[in-house]
Chains A and B, each alone.
Chain A
Amino acid sequence: MRAHHIPDPPTLIGPIGIFSAHPLPMLAMRGACGFPSPAEDFFREDDRLDLNEKLIANPPATFLVQADCGGSMVDYGIHDGDLLIVDRSINVRPGHTVIVLWEGGFTVKKLYRRGNRIVLAASEGYAPIVVPEDVELDVWGVVRSNVHFHV
């Protein structure tokens, strides 16, 4: 009965474990090279870093989205396949990276204001979209951060 006209539901990467905590000890080395500092022996409990806490400011309004934007946002530091952490409780302002509804689909863009028009910008070589005045832009959420996986 699963007829062909029923498309797959949107893929969520997964729910945000609001109550989960996976604290990891924070290293004081800041990615520098050399010997581990002897001061590491003196870490206290509150030196632990919880990635959820660091990346997610407002759990009930945060959605994890996988970027599917090809190279269109490389200039703004977002690569294809990155994990986008989208916070819908942030009120959008010029300069924000946003997920907007455009021509019936979701797209990631940088939002700017030019004069009294809103511009949705992307990497060089991708024409920016100038939103017509009579169109009310539907911003789905503001991208708070993105995670790029190197391996």
Chain B
Amino acid sequence: MSETPTFGLIDGNTFYVSCERVFDPSLRDKPTVVLGNGDGCCIALSPEAKALGLKIGTPIFQVPDAIRQQVCVRSANFALYGDLSARIVTILRDLFPRVEVYSIDENFVDVKGLKDPVAIALEARERILQWVGIPCCVGLGVTRTLAKAGNKLAKNQSKRAVKAGRLAVFHATPENIDQLPIEDVWGVGHRYAARLATEGVCNAADLASLPVEGVRARYGVTLARTQQELRGIPCGDLELEEPDRQQIVVSRMFGRDVSDPMDALATFATVACEKMRMKGLAAGALWVWLDGNPHNGNGFHVSRAIPLPLPTRDTGEVLRAVRFLATSMMRRGVQFKRVAMAITDWCMAWPVPRPTPLPPWAMPPSLRGCSMCLAGAPGVFWTLARAAPIPCSAAWPTH
């Protein structure tokens, strides 16, 4: 047996489905899918739904009726998933000295120096299951890649078992990862996985045993690092600071084809501006893109970006620019399946104190009930109505 682990990865099993099941007992043990992107595609599947042959990313309208009638379908409720995710992070911060929030359902934790990491991992799993209602699996290892591998292996060995107990924790070492298929190794994309498979590298242990120089020369430094980590040599620590994201993107695939995406874009712009102000940033440039429906043989993609004359934090200015960009690309009679807008090239705003919510009597009447006034109060006020989308005129450019 190898030395004690340093990292743990705690991951909610089929997270979105589990979140729905906490509040809707009728979904338990039933094939369940969660649809994202305007109820277009499956973004989460329960094991029962996977067994029916559904895949992540499948548009729901392509699923044969016979199968569709057997599955319970839910629209994604990201406010709910985010809330449950934050609860899980709070529980983990109580138990572990350092926690890296890796994604909405995955958290790396520091288990270095803990007397019995497996026992604490089990305690964390139990607490999350009882307090929040989400079943989790835990992978442990001396590197983050091994912890991630352990998580995958724990999932495989505790499949479908909510009360999996000890089976839900797996301590991965360089010696016991031969059951992990190469495409499930963290950092190996499916293109590399296919190429490695042709050379007889089918699982994580095979990759670890390849000569180091050969991997670096033929696959590059990233895979060489992955290989080092699989051998138990750490190449990275927890990333506790959120990386500086280069852009804020809000996009949505519509459930039906839409000829006028202006309302949706206005809502996206409002959401993106709220995110931007929370981070204390200002928009330097905007980017809007519109896609047709490839399933109708209408697979065009148009996009256009503009720099703003001056960086701005004003939703109104961003809305005007987004509207200008979109109208310049819309054509009469053209239907869209997906629209997106991004704030790019943003810069730190000059130091402005975080806005505090204005009391209702102090708000200008035109802004009453508008979420922008409350933008400084995260978490508490999201249930209030968002700003109404800007009305748009029906007159489109005909060129």
Contacts and interface: CB of A to CB of B under 8 A. Distances in A.
Interface of A: 1-3, 5-6, 9-10, 12-15, 17-20, 58-61, 88-89, 101, 104-106, 138, 140
Interface stretch (B82-90, B170-178, B229-237, B359-367): B82-90
B208 to A, nearest CB: 38
Given A1-B61, A10-B23, A13-B383, 4 more contacts: A6-B39, A9-B75, A18-B90, A106-B25
B66 interface: no
Contact of A105 (B25, B79, B88, B90): B25
9 contacts: A1-B60, A6-B73, A9-B20, A9-B77, A9-B80, A14-B382, A19-B379, A58-B131, A89-B130
A15 B382 contact: yes
Nearest to A87: B131
Contacts, number: 76
B199 interface: no
B12 interface: no
Given A1-B256, A60-B90, A18 B75 contact: no
A120 B165 CA distance: 29
B131 A20 contact: no
Given A9-B75, A88-B130, A15 B379 contact: yes
B24 interface: yes
A5 B73 contact: yes
Contacts of B131: 58, 60-61, 88-89
Contacts of B296: none
Nearest to B256: A1
A144 B77 CA distance: 27
B24 A10 contact: yes
Interface of B: 20, 23-26, 38-40, 60-61, 73-75, 77, 79-80, 83, 86-88, 90-91, 127, 130-133, 255-256, 377, 379-380, 382-383
A83 to B, nearest CB: 14
Contacts of A105: 25
Nearest to A6: B73
Contacts of A3: 73
A19 B148 CA distance: 31
Given A18-B379, A19-B379, A6 B75 contact: yes
B264 to A, nearest CB: 14
Contacts of B79: 12, 15
Contacts of A89: 127, 130-131
A149 to B, nearest CB: 17
Contact of B74 (A6, A12, A18): A6
Contacts of A59: 87, 90
| Majority-rule SS of A interface residues | loop
Per CB-CB distance, the 6 closest pairs between chain A and chain B, nearest first, are A1-B255, A61-B131, A10-B23, A60-B87, A17-B380, A60-B90
B75 A20 contact: no
B337 to A, nearest CB: 11
Given A9-B75, A10-B23, A88 B39 contact: no
Contacts of A106: 25
Contacts of A17: 379-380
A29 to B, nearest CB: 26
A106 B26 CA distance: 10
Given A6-B75, A88-B132, A89-B131, A61 B255 contact: no
A124 to B, nearest CB: 28
Nearest to A12: B80
Contacts of A19: 379
Nearest to B89: A60
Contacts of A101: 25
B86 A2 contact: no
A75 to B, nearest CB: 26
Contact of B86 (A9, A12, A18): A18
A138 B127 CA distance: 16
Nearest to A22: B380
B25 A14 contact: no
B233 to A, nearest CB: 35
Contacts of B88: 60
Contacts of B80: 9, 12
Nearest to B60: A1
A5 to B, nearest CB: 7
A2 B39 CA distance: 7
A58 B88 CA distance: 13
A1 B37 CA distance: 12
Nearest to B87: A60
Contacts of A13: 383
Q: In this complex, which of B25, B26, B38 has the most chain A Cβ atoms within 10 angstroms of its Cβ?
A: B25
A19 B377 CA distance: 10
A14 B378 CA distance: 12
Nearest to B23: A10
Contacts of B127: 89
A9 to B, nearest CB: 5
A49 B206 CA distance: 61
A100 B74 CA distance: 23
